[in-house]
Amino acid sequence: MNNFDFYNPTHLVFGKERLGELDNLIPPAAKVLVLYGGGSVKKFGTLAKVLAGLKNHKVVEFGGIEPNPQFTTLMKAVDIVKKENIDFLLAVGGGSVIDGTKFISLAAKYERENPEELLKFGFTPIPGCKAVPLGTVVTIPATGSEMNNCAVISYNHGKYVIYSAEVFPKFSFLDPTITFSLPATQVANGVVDAFIHTTEQYLTFPVDGRFQDRTAEGIMQTLIEIGRTTIDEPTNYEARANLVVCATMALNGLTCSGVPQDWTSHMIGHELTAIFGIDHGKTLAVLLPAVLTVLKEQKRAKLLQYAERIWNITDGDEASRVDLAISKTREFFESLGIKTRLADYNVTEDKIDDVVKALQQHGMTALSESGKVTLEVSRKILEGAM
């Protein structure tokens, strides 16, 4: 097992009808900015419950954070934070609203002139980084942003990942009933996103991380068990509760501690969203089978473990077990109603050049746990995803 640090300060508040506890978790004198997306929280009553839970606080609202949150929209909220002397941010939404709020929390405290610079740090620590404290009320079980220190921000046709320990939410409310109103396709996106967060931290090479492997396998098995049920029966509390817990735990720093990681599907997927507007979860469902096919030699030992422990594949030679595990993975995504070929999203082969060019512009030239996924290998992956 590799050396690691595990740090996660987010307080989870899980369960039904708990938004009344919001006031207790925010400092009493804090002026709160409540942030949300395009209106689902108004339509389905979540915002009203949040405001009732904040009745002892001064509150200002900011709506209109779009899916794949845009820098220019977020900067409007930064102005409000400064003008209104906001002390605490409360994101009410999915990954886009939560990520947008994380960016706002950093940009509002950024002392230099150009907050765009924040997007260039990537994995490098931001010098002198400060942030307005934030909390979340999660409306989509998918990204895990509610319990991590990462945000993905859209700017000028690119998606930029930023990290800072300062943006771990102080708390996150996980109420499965708030997610009952999600359309089936968003639920399916969430199942796939959580599943592929897990594979990105698992399908590499063995380092005898038994706890990490078995935790990852537990998340994947749960998602396979409840995936179709939670789409077909949106108000089935137990099924949705299991999705909510899996999504949060899949990307909170636990299963990646001390083991190698490979974020190839995510990094290429971000370009597919930026160029073609395909939902995040759907880009991953297209890419993962192609990534595993192209990298099956480098990932052979873990793929065999995955075949046996996740798909119960024990017969046949190694190569056919690996191939069967990859086709079972594709079938699982398709069974959730998510298409797994680029052509299904009207992306034609002649567009692959644009994606490769974008990867180059964003420095994505040595991806995967091996660093061997060059632009040429990414091209092969994209060709395999057609």
Q: Which residues bind ligand NZQ (CB under 6 A)?
A: 37-41, 44, 67-68, 93-97, 99, 139-140, 142-145, 148, 150-152, 178-179, 181-182, 186, 189, 193, 251, 266, 280
Report the residue number, 233 or 323, with the smaller CB distance to ligand NZQ. Answer: 233
Counting every residue written for the chain, the total comes to: 386
Report the residue number, 99 or 193, with the smaller CB distance to Zn ion. Answer: 193
Q: Does 200 bind Zn ion (CB under 5 A)?
A: no
Q: How far is the CB of 264 from Zn ion (least distance, A)?
A: 12
Interface with Zn ion by CB under 5 A: which range of 155-163, 193-201, 291-299, 366-374?
Answer: 193-201
Q: Does 99 bind Zn ion (CB under 5 A)?
A: no
Report the residue number, 102 or 330, with the smaller CB distance to ligand NZQ. Answer: 102
Report the residue number, 180 or 296, with the smaller CB distance to ligand NZQ. Answer: 180
Binder of residue 96, out of ligand NZQ, Zn ion, none (CB less than 5 to 8 A by kind): ligand NZQ
Q: How far is the CB of 64 from Zn ion (least distance, A)?
A: 23
Q: Does 146 bind Zn ion (CB under 5 A)?
A: no
Q: How far is the CB of 153 from ligand NZQ (least distance, A)?
A: 8
Residues ≥6 apart with Cβ < 8 Å to 331: none
Write the burial class of residue 39 (CB in 10 Å: 0-12 exposed, 13-18 middle, 19+ buried).
exposed
Q: How far is the CB of 168 from ligand NZQ (least distance, A)?
A: 11
Binder of residue 150, out of ligand NZQ, Zn ion, none (CB less than 5 to 8 A by kind): ligand NZQ
Q: Does 175 bind Zn ion (CB under 5 A)?
A: no
**What number of other Cβ atoms are within 10 A of residue 20's Cβ?**
12
Sheet holding 134-138, edge to edge: 11-14, 171-174, 134-138, 88-93, 31-35, 58-62
In whole angstroms, what is the distance from residue 354 CA to residue 362 CA? Answer: 12
Q: Does 193 bind Zn ion (CB under 5 A)?
A: yes
What angle, rounded to 10 degrees, do the helices at 184-200 and 280-294 form? 40
- Name which of 285, 273, 260 is nearest 355 in CA terms: 273
Query: Hunting for tokens 């991953």 — which residue is that?
Result: 284
Report the residue number, 182 or 367, with the smaller CB distance to ligand NZQ. Answer: 182
How far, CA to CA in Å, does 133 sit from each of 35, 89, 265, 295? Answer: 13, 6, 31, 41
In whole angstroms, what is the distance from residue 373 CA to residue 370 CA? Answer: 7
In whole angstroms, what is the distance from residue 45 CA to residue 281 CA? Answer: 26
Q: Does 279 bind Zn ion (CB under 5 A)?
A: no
Residues that bind Zn ion (CB under 5 A): 193
